[in-house]
Structure 1
């Protein structure tokens, strides 16, 4: 296997455009860190300003963020809903037509085998949501019914509605916006045309050379780095808070900043080392073991948990989601509810969009458009929905059997409390709880290493960034999370809300892909004779 991976890595390096080759050995530390790149100062400076304001006056920061959050969801929420829906539908159309046979990345065969490709893809996007949100969101919608559905007549129908709403938030639309059409645009412009693998390249078809040079290009890249850094720092901070809570509940370890500090330092070390080892080693290895552990836990819960409920809930939940797909996608009846659920999620996933597209472009060389769209926008969401049924659906089943057994632990949006309330009702509760905590940690670590790598690619302009810049961004995001949680959970919560604000400029950067991706796909279909 190592020979295959080394060969793939060698091919990747030798087939990159000339501008992505490594700098000579005489480059200084300043060059290695990208200090001369204005994108570093724009993105790093903005994050530093955010942290400084949090340290100076957290209430002032929260007031700014809350005002920006309210403005963003009010004026951009409807646009985001349409953007995500069109992205998914256009992607399906490209996959279904003759353009589905188009090969991407200027390679005849895939660079990474199917299992590792899917594993990296799943682990990178799911992050902390793969465990804590999977446990908490279904029970949240069960306890407080989504407005589209209204009150159900039976607990079973109430459960199905809660699952289908969760599936909508973590399903087709969320996945599509993080690398469906944008990856098609980037892979063609980078691998076929030699343009840089950076967010600014997404606007090249619209703005031409202006998108690649000067202040416009730097601002585009910086906006996308700020968004994805915020989206990564937040889960790292919550990892410390949530694992600390769980360790206190399970082992009576003090739930304080010292415990949170140790947890986050451990996470920083792991994902930075993984990012340093490269795309073809640490990131793939962690993702592979994460998927193996997740599958093992799924099989275990399926066998010893409420098996019939999980299977029937998944099938009917997916059916209900499909039946209400357009109404849920375009629902505007309760803007207050939308701002803390659907639109909040859309803002979070949009923030990841351009940088995830860069990452997907790096791991998807040699894949066809059909393989990319169907795997990323259809298969991965269906797997995610099944995972949510295994974890959250089991919690809903326990809640129906013993009212209050999960919902009471979840009160006040206590995410780890909901997870532990579920695992404690399974056979061998301590072992299962520990495995879920390990799984959560690896999920967030794989996102940390992937985004550390991707940010480093954008800053350095290389597909194999040097160790200095990878270490800098990995440590910087972790230390930022530490500073914010030292202020209490409010610091990280402000950052979570800020993620939605960053989605405003990022969503405008993603918009041209709606028409650029079909144009590029049809052009490549003609060139490749398909």
Structure 2
């Protein structure tokens, strides 16, 4: 690889890199920041009006665009696997011959960023939710074991292969090629360069595209930060009698703000790696502990049967349209949420994945990570199902009213050393949220500043702003954060059209890179072998 090829691109179309500070010259800053401020003001002064607008937009989004999202996720996963296992899978991404980050650090950051805090509370709550009220795709049965398996399979569908694929497969390939090899900016607008050409890189169209993606990922990050305050406050009250009020919630959120802002300022090589590695080790320790001291047989059997049920019904579950009301609060809601993260996650993954092959990226993000996530859901949620079957009401009563932390504590309270395990789960959840806030603060700062390493001021600004927004919303009660959670699905509408072209641009770019890296030429060893065994004029033929 020549020196020209390995050079870091300067950032074509980078209108803000030289502005420094907060990137105030970038219109995307004003569009996204202004919209978030408007949302908060309406939540404070016109909450009923805002809730009505959000409900209308939510209903419209899931009914009109829900089918598109289901097909988009399914095709993204299938096409990603196709290019990963074809010869294009050997393409090295990021114009770097070797990875700049070792595998464990890289996978730790991916897992902690993409799974986020939802993977802890939802891991306990979703399986029991589907157990209490069975998903409509499954036939009615009175067998509690089968109901539990179906509940796990439905959770696996929501948090498994399709969810992971949409946040970091085809889009990452497109971004990495256009940025590292063509010098285009590390921004969402770059995903539409193959469609609109250079006019999307500058001017208002590009700024609007970037702003839509910033708003989507900010909403998707502010919501979990706010729920962290609400849920951890509830857990601390249940465990230690600490008042479950706004003061406690404020302290929790401020602690999270400080932690993820300091981590973001320290850079990818320090705070983020340290937190991610710690959380992966802690999560693995908890998994082993529950596997040994929890309902081991049910966990193992439930995982195998749940995966088998999900794979056996994979296409019907992914394309199920039989109950739109149910879909709007489960499948379509989750996938709209994950879609909103798509472009910004692609930017973040592009930043940490240089030197990885397409096959390595796709297999890690679209196969390994979902398999591990499903096992995590079986460890936490599967244990809850086993406890519920053995003692009816032990988990479902705590979950009543959609009480996510209540479901988690009901599970941990039935394990040895319940207080210690509960505290460790709270720590795990907090750091998951912190790593997500950290990575998204970084990604937003990259887009606004136009720089691969944004300055500390802009990282601090976006980190604090998202945290303060969460504080304002939870001060209004859970209604403000709930409205934001529903609004996340609305933001997926424009973002889905930004992701859509990657379905054909991803494979085309993979082929271009395969040609550039001579991957379609015969293997040199095979070629030499053929040349060495080719008959020569001196060798006698069979006819002779």
The answer as to 2:10 corresponding to 1:18 is yes
For 2:44, which of 50, 55, 78 is the aligned residue?
A: 55
Q: Distance in 2 between matches of 1:226 and 1:348?
A: 12
Which residue of the partner structure matches residue 415 of structure 1? 404
The answer as to 2:433 corresponding to 1:444 is yes
Q: Distance in 2 between matches of 1:81 and 1:130?
A: 21
Provide, for residues 490-525 of structure 1, a one-character-per-residue CA deviation record: whole Å limited to 9, x for no partner. Answer: 000000000000000000000000000100001111
Which residue of the partner structure matches residue 473 of structure 2? 484
Q: Distance in 2 between matches of 1:381 and 1:170?
A: 7
Provide, for residues 235-258 of structure 1, a one-character-per-residue CA deviation record: whole Å limited to 9, x for no partner. Answer: 000000000000000000000000
Q: Report the secondary structure of 2:504's partner residue.
A: helix
How much does 1:24 deviate? 13
Alpha carbons of structure 1 residues 471 and 23: separation in structure 2 relative to 1, 3 Å: farther
Alignment of 1:102-181 (within 5 A): 102-181=91-170
Structure-2-length-normalised TM-score: 0.93
Q: Distance in 1 between matches of 2:140 and 2:104?
A: 42
Q: Distance in 2 between matches of 1:264 and 1:273?
A: 14
Q: Report the secondary structure of 2:416's partner residue.
A: coil
Contact 1:351–1:500 at 8 Å: present in 2 too? Answer: yes
Q: Distance in 2 between matches of 1:357 and 1:116?
A: 18
How much does 1:21 deviate? 13
- Which of the pair has more CA radius of gyration? 2
For 1:39, which of 13, 19, 28 is the aligned residue?
A: 28
How much does 1:128 deviate? 1.5
Alignment of 1:29-428 (within 5 A): 31-428=20-417
Contact 2:16–2:25 at 8 Å: present in 1 too? Answer: no
Contact 1:20–1:462 at 8 Å: present in 2 too? Answer: no
Q: Report the secondary structure of 1:131's partner residue.
A: helix
Contact 1:286–1:442 at 8 Å: present in 2 too? Answer: yes
Q: Distance in 1 between matches of 2:157 and 2:487?
A: 23
Contact 1:232–1:447 at 8 Å: present in 2 too? Answer: yes
How much does 1:72 deviate? 0.1
Contact 1:197–1:358 at 8 Å: present in 2 too? Answer: yes
Q: Distance in 2 between matches of 1:267 and 1:151?
A: 43
How much does 1:200 deviate? 0.2
Q: Distance in 2 between matches of 1:24 and 1:527?
A: 31
How much does 1:378 deviate? 0.5
Alpha carbons of structure 1 residues 457 and 20: separation in structure 2 relative to 1, 3 Å: farther
Q: Distance in 1 between matches of 2:452 and 2:260?
A: 18
Contact 2:11–2:186 at 8 Å: present in 1 too? Answer: no
Q: Distance in 2 between matches of 1:383 and 1:353?
A: 20
Q: Distance in 2 between matches of 1:78 and 1:21?
A: 35
Q: Distance in 2 between matches of 1:153 and 1:258?
A: 45
Q: Distance in 1 between matches of 2:113 and 2:226?
A: 17
How much does 1:18 deviate? 2.1
Which residue of the partner structure matches residue 463 of structure 1? 452
Q: Distance in 2 between matches of 1:22 and 1:369?
A: 27
Provide, for residues 442-470 of structure 1, a one-character-per-residue CA deviation record: whole Å limited to 9, x for no partner. Answer: 00000000000000000000010000000
Q: Distance in 1 between matches of 2:226 and 2:210?
A: 24
Provide, for residues 33-72 of structure 1, a one-character-per-residue CA deviation record: whole Å limited to 9, x for no partner. Answer: 1111101000000000000000111111000000000000
State the aligned residue count. Answer: 515
Gap runs ≥5 in structure 2: 520-544
Contact 1:164–1:318 at 8 Å: present in 2 too? Answer: yes
Gap runs ≥5 in structure 1: 1-10
How much does 1:16 deviate? 2.1
Q: Distance in 1 between matches of 2:411 and 2:386?
A: 10
Q: Distance in 2 between matches of 1:287 and 1:363?
A: 13
Q: Report the secondary structure of 2:117's partner residue.
A: helix
How much does 1:150 deviate? 2.9
How much does 1:20 deviate? 8.5
Contact 2:62–2:328 at 8 Å: present in 1 too? Answer: yes
How much does 1:23 deviate? 12
Q: Distance in 1 between matches of 2:7 and 2:377?
A: 39
Alpha carbons of structure 1 residues 223 and 21: separation in structure 2 relative to 1, 3 Å: closer
How much does 1:153 deviate? 3.7
Q: Distance in 2 between matches of 1:468 and 1:21?
A: 23
How much does 1:111 deviate? 1.0
